[in-house]
Structure formats: C-alpha cells, structure tokens
Structure 1
Amino acid sequence: MPIATADAPRLDGIRCLIMGGGGFLGVHLANALARQGAVVRAFGRAPADPLELDGRVHWNSGRFEDPEATTEAVRGQEIVFHLLSSSVPGSPGQIPAFDLETNVLGTLRFLDICNAAAVRRIVFASSGGTVYGPADTYPISETAPTHPISAYGVGKLAIEKYLGLYHHLYGLEYIALRIANAYGPLQSILKRQGVVAAMLDHALAGKPLKIWGTGEVVRDFVHIDDVVSAFLWAATYGGPHRVMNVGSGTGLSINQVANDIEAITGTAKLSRNYHAGRTADVPINILDISLITRETPWRPRRTWLDGLHTTAQWMAAKRRAPLSDHARGRSPA
C-alpha cells in the first residue's frame, strides 16, 4: 500500500472533487481518495495519462474558465481540492495581469460557485516555495513575513486571503497547504517546474544537467506520497489553523540533488550546464513543518534517497531503460 494511505483517515462515502485532477498531484490524490473510500470526481481538460487514474474516479472534462462546466462539477460535492494553476513559479517573462485574471479572479468566481453549492470545505494547494519570498530565518514558519517575488507566489497568497474572506463572510471552511518542492512518479518533464524530474530524465538519457544559477540555491523536497497524505489529513482537520506548511523540513542544494541523481542512476559523472539565475528564485527555501505535525498525525515518511530511488525506477521503466546493475537496489553514501 502506498505510504500516502497507510495511516491516513478514512473518507468513506464523502463526495470529493479535485480541480486539476489530471495533473501530477491530482492523479495521486484522486487515487488515494478512492483507496480511502471517498466518492471521487476529478475535473480538468484531460488526464495526462488516463491509465494512471483509478477506475473508481469519475472524470469530468472541462475548462476552469467555463462556469457551466465548473458548476456542474461542484454540484453535490462536500470537499473540493483546488489544485489548478495556469502558471508555474519559474515562468520566463511573467505577465502578472494574466496570472491575476486566470488564477485569482478565476478562483474568486469558482468560490462563488462553491458557496452557492454549499460545499463544506475547500483544500487549496498553495506554494510554500514562493509565498514567503526571501526569508531572514530558516526553516520558515507560517507566521513568517510573506514577500513573494513572482506573480505565481503573489497569486497563491492572494487566493489564501480571499479564502479567509469567504470564510469570514459566508462560513466557507478551508485549509491552505503551502507545499514545498514536490517530486515523484508521474511528474511531467515537459513543464517548467520539477527539477528532480528534469534532472532524472537528462541523467537517464546521458545528457548534461541543466542548472539555473550556481547550483547552490537550497530547496525543500517532499515526496508526492507525503504531499497527498497531508491533503487527506487536511480534509478532516478540525483545528483552528487555516494555513499549514507541507515539506520535508530539510534543505538540499541543487548541486547536491545533481550528485545524488548521478549516484542513484549509476551514470558516469555528467556535465552540468549552468545558466544565469532566474529572478523568481529565492536563495534558500526550507519550510518549518512543526505546525502540521503538531496539529495532525501527518509526518513526512519518505526519505529523500528512498524517494529519489523509487522515482528514478519509475522514470527508467517509462523510458524502457532499467537502472544499471551498478545502481539497482542501492543508495548513495
């Protein structure tokens, strides 16, 4: 049984909707909810890989911008998981007005639909990697100042604030989970996020590793199983806190990630192409996860090297190129 559901709450018969159910997090979450007994509806344009979606999940095709489609999807749902976003943190040539229109205003219209449909709770996928911006102390707690330096981070923070407003005005329950850098099986290499997936793909193909900046920026990497587990606990959480960090609580430099990927895949030392740093990248991001571990039974269960190894195995299988005998079954020192 996946770690995500090994010690997670049962959700028998609870009607759950996942907005963005065809993406990396959405598919994992939909499958986990189905395993926990929920009645699951997933909404999106199309699942990235329909074969990965549990057969018990009801799929609704539609666009977030279509009020008729979203109204139909929300009807009768008790818990809504809002995972949709039209942008990613490192997008070049950010267009704040586009992010505002599609993500923030789009979510406001969606909240009106949820409120009218008497949805009981919204669990929102926020971004622990971007809402804080450059921090003064680490790890970063939920009470730290928020100074996002990307349109993506500003949008995520704005949605959190509007969720708070809707709770105040209408009693709409919500939990916002500020997620660190998630990685794991099913993550696409085609999108402009997911350094682990991108590096693993290059390593398995024997290509140079692409690194932004010096490679000394530090990130908090959390396995997708642990992210999903946090969402399951958030669905039933009854405490007073509305915003919680979800991460590993530790940091790794991108250069260290590259070193570990080389060791995990058993490849000879790969060349590394260093590119100018991106304006949206903060030097260090490590999340303080003491709040969620205090308020819920959730703990990050996947160690970095174990999670990296299973992700590499999945990617190698997808490429039909098994890991070398040198790398199979071992972890780097």
Structure 2
Amino acid sequence: MTSVLPAAKPPTLVVGGGGLLGRHVHSALERSGAPVHSVNVPWHDPVASRDVLRSELTTLVASAPDGRVNVAWCAGAGIVATPAAELETEVALFREVLTDLRAALRPDTRVAFFFASSAGGVYAGSADPPFTELSEPRPLVAYGKAKLEMEEALTAFCAETGSVALLGRITNLYGPGQRLSKPQGLVSQLCLAQLRGTPLPVWVSFDTIRDYLYVGDCAEMIVDALDGLPEHARRTGSNVVVKILAAGTGVTLSAVIGETNRIFRRRARLRIPGAGAPGQVRDLRVRSVVWPELGHRPQTPFSVGVRRTADDIARTYAAGTSAPSHQHQPTQVSEISIR
C-alpha cells in the first residue's frame, strides 16, 4: 500500500511579530511545523516600512515551492485614542503594501491572508449586544473606521487576485508579553499596578463588559484559519471571511479587578478621574455565528490566563524592569483602553 504524505505547510510571513499577538502567532506556527518568518518593520518611518515589507513579501512569494504562501498581519500601532491623522498613515501604508504584494504575485501564487481587526473598534456604536458578524458595524472613533478601511482594502485585493482572507475581529486580547508602553491591556496594567503599588486610573464604569480572549488561544485559531481558508473558500464560494475571534463570555471590569485582587491577595489601588473615555461603551459582548468550528477548541480559563499574565510581569519586575525584557520601557499610563 502506498502511503500519502501530508502536504508541506506553506511559508508564512508574520507582520507585527514583535507585538503581543504576532509573537504568539509565530510560536503557534512553529509548533504546527510551518515555515515561519517574522519581520522587523520600522513603523515610525512609513517609507522605510514599505521598503522592508515589499522586500519581505517578494522573497516570500519567490520562496514558495508550490505557490502557496500565508501572510499573518498582526501589526497595528493604533489604539482607541490614536488621532485620526496617525491612523490615516497606517491605512495608507497597508494599501501600499497590498499594491506591492499584488505586483509580486506570480501566476501560480495562492495567498491566504489573516488580518487582525478589532471587534471593539468596529462594533462600538452598534445596536443590541451581543454583536455577531451579522451586526452592522458602527465605529465611534477613527480607530474603528481605520480598521474597516483596511478590511475593505484587503477584500478588494482578494477580489482582484483570487486570494483568500480572514478578517479577524478580535476582542480584548490579554496574556504574557503585553507591551506596557501602550495605554492598553487592562489585565497587564492592573498586574503592573499591583506590583508597583501605584494607583491605576480607571475611566469607565465598573459594570463595563468586555470579552477577554487569551492571546495563545487566539493565535491557535489564527493558525487553524490559515490552514483551512482555501477549503473554506471553496466550500462557501467566498474568498473573504469576516469572523469574530472571542472567548464568547462577557466579563465586567469589577470581575477583572476582583481576579487580580485574588491573585495578588490585596486590593488594587484605583483612581477614578470621573470622566469617561471617548469611544468606550458599556456593553461589548459578542457571539460568533460564522465558521463556528474554528473556535471549537479548549479555551484557557480566565483565572488561568490572568495568573499566567501576572507571573510573566512579576518575573520581569523582579528582574528590575517593569515590562518584559524584550519590550520597551513603559511610559506613564494616563488612560486604560479596554476595547
């Protein structure tokens, strides 16, 4: 009997491999046996960023033995409070990179593309939570609008090239390795404040609800999606899948604070400025109704994920830094985004 060997996995380029999601996606791809490369992009310089990404994408396409390539776009410098002008630069760069990728494609190239979008940014103004992929997107701030523009650009790219893509609208990511220099990542910021013994500003009500997704679980879903996208496209007749990547459980701010209090065995010091944050709404529960089997895997319990996050921050704090050794030193946090 002749055995049939499984097809080799296509090479994958992880864009944003230095960030929280990108590092975990890179590791998950390595565990899956896929050839993977993360690129260091000088995001502060859009021209240099485009040059680097053009070179990396051209090399990726040329290196594919059977024409199959994957791109995992896990980058994103913006947060909810980022000014519109900065986000416009990010959107423009993304469009330019897609233009360069289109130019690099060979006749036999087949691209599977993952794009990290934001459930909170996209659905912040939508009606009737929990939101699903069928809910009408209604962003409240420039951040959410920018994510939708990038989704639209990638959708057009797929229509023109026959590529397949997953637009992953991700809820609140948390886990080891959060970049503490950005004013986001409530779980990490609470843990850091506990270790420092400093008060943390909280700009939203304690009954604010978010869906917290452990970054390792999200990374595994992304790897599964890249593997399954071509078949899913053939089965559904659609080259682009919009899917919410979420834990599927709404957690209040008070419950998050309570969990960190339990782990550190003391109450967090909080400062309540008394003014709300723009773009933040009370209820952002979600429920995915698209490609449901993609999320059918054991999930990291919230208590376990918070403990892992706390242990990671405690190790680096004990080593004399307040952020992981591979991260930049944090700036003063003036606002916590819990998108």
With structure 1 as the length reference, what TM-score do the two structures score?
A: 0.82
Mapped partners of 2:298, 2:96: distance in 1: 34
Structure 1 residue 264 corresponds to structure 2 residue 263:
yes
Q: Is the 2:41–2:53 Cα contact (8 Å) retained in structure 1?
A: no
Corresponding position of 2:142: 151
Mapped partners of 1:11, 1:26: distance in 2: 25
Shift of 1:62: 9.9
Query: Which of 15, 36, 61 in structure 2 is aligned with 1:40?
Result: 36
Give per-residue Cα distances to partners, 1:154-184, cap 9 Å, x unaligned: 0111111121112222222211100000000
Task: Output aligned runs, 1:1-12, within 5 Å.
Answer: 12=8
Mapped partners of 1:98, 1:301: distance in 2: 35
Corresponding position of 2:57: 74
Corresponding position of 2:245: 246
Corresponding position of 2:288: 289
State the AA in 1 paired with 2:113.
Answer: I
State the AA in 2 paired with 1:21.
Answer: G
Query: Which of 311, 316, 319 in structure 2 is aligned with 1:318?
Result: 316
State the AA in 2 paired with 1:68.
Answer: D
1:12–1:303 distance in 2 versus 1, CA, 3 Å = farther
Root-mean-square deviation over aligned CA pairs: 2.2
1:313–1:278 distance in 2 versus 1, CA, 3 Å = same
Structure 1 residue 25 corresponds to structure 2 residue 21:
yes
Q: Is the 1:213–1:278 Cα contact (8 Å) retained in structure 2?
A: yes
* SS of corresponding position for 2:166: strand
Corresponding position of 1:190: 181
State the AA in 2 paired with 1:35.
Answer: R
With structure 2 as the length reference, what TM-score do the two structures score?
A: 0.80
1:292–1:263 distance in 2 versus 1, CA, 3 Å = farther
State the AA in 1 paired with 2:252.
Answer: S
Greater RCO, CA 8 A, separation 6+: 2
Mapped partners of 1:274, 1:27: distance in 2: 33
Shift of 1:17: 0.4
Shift of 1:13: 4.3
Q: Is the 1:11–1:36 Cα contact (8 Å) retained in structure 2?
A: no
Give per-residue Cα distances to partners, 1:236-267, cap 9 Å, x unaligned: 22323611001111111212211111111212
* SS of corresponding position for 1:98: helix
Query: Any runs of at least 4 consecutive aligned residues in structure 1 with deviations exceeding 6 A, and if so which?
Result: none
Mapped partners of 2:115, 2:32: distance in 1: 19
Q: Is the 2:158–2:164 Cα contact (8 Å) retained in structure 1?
A: yes
Corresponding position of 1:117: 104
Corresponding position of 1:105: 92
Shift of 1:293: 2.5
Corresponding position of 1:329: none
Give per-residue Cα distances to partners, 1:196-229, cap 9 Å, x unaligned: 1111100122222321122322111000111101
Corresponding position of 1:326: none
1:164–1:13 distance in 2 versus 1, CA, 3 Å = closer
* SS of corresponding position for 1:248: coil
* SS of corresponding position for 2:272: strand
Structure 1 residue 305 corresponds to structure 2 residue 313:
no
* SS of corresponding position for 1:79: strand
1:11–1:161 distance in 2 versus 1, CA, 3 Å = farther
* SS of corresponding position for 2:280: coil
Which is helix-richer, 1 or 2?
2
Query: How many residues of Structure 1 are paired with residues of Structure 2 in the alignment?
Result: 292
State the AA in 2 paired with 1:306.
Answer: V
State the AA in 1 paired with 2:33.
Answer: G
**Identity across aligned pairs (percent)?**
26
Mapped partners of 2:175, 2:70: distance in 1: 25
Corresponding position of 2:278: 279
Q: Is the 1:199–1:209 Cα contact (8 Å) retained in structure 2?
A: yes
Shift of 1:12: 4.5
Query: Which of 219, 222, 233 in structure 1 is aligned with 2:224?
Result: 233
1:71–1:259 distance in 2 versus 1, CA, 3 Å = same
Q: Is the 2:18–2:40 Cα contact (8 Å) retained in structure 1?
A: yes
Corresponding position of 1:5: none
Shift of 1:64: 5.3
